[in-house]
Amino acid sequence: MSDTQNAVLDNPTMNDTAHDQPVTVRRAILSVYDKTGVVELAQVLKRQGVEIISTGGTMSKLTEAGIDVTSVESITGFGSMLGGRLKTLHPNMLGGILARRDVAEDESQLKDAGIGLCDLVVINLYPFSKAADDPNASLADAIELIDVGGPTMIRAAAKNHAWVTVVCDPSDYSTLAKEIEERNGSVSALTRRRLAVKAFAITAEYDAKIASHLGAASQDDKADFPDIWIQSYSKVGTLRYGENPHQSAAVYSKTGTTGPSLATAEVTGGKLLSYNNYGDLDAAWRMAADFDEPFAAVFKHANPCGAAMGNDIREAYELAHATDPLSAYGSVVALNRKVDRACAETLNETTFVECVLAPGYEPEAMELMLKKKTRRYITVPTMDITSSKLRRFRDLVGGLLVQDDDLKILPESDLRVVTETQPTPEQIRALLFARKVVKHSKSNAIVLAKGTAAVGIGSGQTSRVDAVMSAVQRAGERSQGAVLASDAFFPMKDGPEEAAKAGVAAIIQPGGSKRDDEVIETCNLHRIAMVFTGMRNFRH
């Protein structure tokens, strides 16, 4: 390593003053797959006297528009080769991009080789994602859309952003063109740095998509959880604050998402969604999406305080809100059916609902609901999230936990009755309903239900018996004859004993405790029916 390189590593700010100067664009390379706006940008460059180098379809597009263009072939001395795989990778191209203007040796070598400097690189990449996301596209089709020359030139220009401007997103053309015109052909250091950062992010995202697709195509056992986890997200917006006013926050959308997305969902009415709104809405949506029948979920602090099915969406919401009206104050609501006027009337009668999420709203219903000026209405085109192959993430200090979402279906045939008292068909239906609700409640969690409506929810407790008592306290007299769902096994008989005191008639739980026999004996003593599922549903 040279002394100069060592000095730069020791002092990253070395030469920053020189590099903070504007750079006049005299020569530009334009080679784009997406030709949106490229003609307009080229016209601005021509008015500033910039020489434009181009290739293939871009050159044809610019020539048709009457713009004089220098071909890449005339610079490199080679035409397109290998079916278009090789066009721009040549010292005569890359040398002009990578050369440092303040290093005499670089200038001398370019002069000896007859290579001209390049001040602007405008490139966007082959649409690999288009083939990767197309179920009818073969692996060979996708591989042919892996861009090689484009990322190389983008990264070269981004590396040398002290002297070169790089643009790889058509949405940046107009801003850049305006700056070039206002500054008489030059680009500021701040703009060059900003565009370089974006360029590196775009190429990183591009490579991540390729690695993910090829990994999945290899059918490797590690494809779902690769050795190197790479995901890319684009910022949708900055939030007012995080969980608390002293915390900063933003919302991002996962790049390449084609299914339903809360991050980009349509929001009507009221102020912008908050960090806490997003968390509650995500939890409520996941629960509502788990039911095929008309269903309503009422959530507060990422926990359900109401859940119910109904003959229609209005009845589902009425029953859900009745689960715990006190806790529902300031809640978010998720509905898995389009909101009609009848449901809208009931929603408007409810005091202080922060947000409502649904697959749609009838015009008459929306007109009525917008009378609630502060309430937000979120539209997601479909409630089905199973096709999105969802993951659950949790930050660690210096790490990340990743797991599959809990989407496994429990067939009724998997239930095992373990008590002398047999559950009735109506109780089985209620037990399966309660078990779905409890799976979306933070552990330790207990749900009491009657029919297909929750009447008491105890969640987020540090002991299971406390969760039972919390659910019973919320249910009150409604616990008489109710069914109970537990997200994990009862480690002791105290939980079922509390349920028996409250009049619970049937219990569903995974089973698997070393004290299962004591728990079963307790249920037999109180003539409570109990079924084991063999499936735990923790949500921490």
**Residues in a beta bridge with 71:** 54
| Alpha helices for 100-188 (secondary structure H) | 104-113, 128-132, 139-144, 149-159, 173-182
Would you please indicate which residues are annotated as catalytic (active-site) residues?
A: 159, 301
pLDDT digits (tens), the chain, 540 positions: 444 444 444 444 444 555 678 888 899 999 888 888 999 999 999 998 999 988 888 889 999 999 888 887 777 766 666 766 666 677 777 888 888 888 888 888 878 888 888 899 999 887 777 767 667 777 777 777 777 788 888 999 999 999 999 999 999 999 999 999 999 999 999 999 999 999 998 888 878 777 777 776 655 555 577 777 878 888 899 998 999 999 999 999 887 677 788 998 999 998 889 999 999 999 999 999 999 999 999 999 999 999 999 999 999 999 999 999 999 999 999 999 999 999 999 999 998 999 999 999 999 999 999 999 999 999 998 877 766 667 888 888 999 898 888 888 898 999 999 999 999 999 999 999 999 999 999 999 999 999 999 999 999 999 999 999 999 999 999 999 999 999 999 999 999 999 999 999 999 999 999 999 999 999 999 999 999 999 999 988
**Residue among 214, 207, 25, 29 at smallest CA distance from 132:** 214
Phi-psi region of 40 (alpha: psi -120 to 50; beta: other; left: phi over 0): alpha
Domain ranges of the chain: 3-217, 265-384, 412-532
Q: What is the separation, in whole angstroms, between the first and last Cα of the chain?
A: 51
Output the pLDDT for position 304: 96
515 burial (CB, 10 Å; 0-12 / 13-18 / 19+) is middle
Sign, Cα dihedral of 183, 184, 185, 186: negative
Output the pLDDT for position 389: 67
Q: Does domain 265-384 have CATH number 3.30.230.10?
A: no
pTM of the predicted protein model = 0.79
Judge whether 3-217 and 412-532 match in fold: no
412-532: CATH topology? Cytidine Deaminase; domain 2 (3.40.140)
CA distance 527 to 178: 79
For the chain, the farthest-separated pair of C-alpha atoms sits apart, in whole angstroms, at 97
CA distance 36 to 320: 49
CATH number of the domain at 3-217, out of 3.40.50.1380, 1.10.1510.10, 3.40.50.300, 3.30.70.1350?
A: 3.40.50.1380
Output the pLDDT for position 1: 45
Matching residue, tokens 């499936």 = 535
Amino acid occupying residue 347: L
With helix as H, strand as E and coil as C, how does 183-223 read? CCCEECHHHHHHHHHHHHHHHHHHHHHHHHHHHHHCCCCCC
CA distance 94 to 82: 19
Question: Residue 460 gets which letter from DSSP?
Answer: S
Residue 202 has a CB neighbour count (10 Å cut-off) of 20
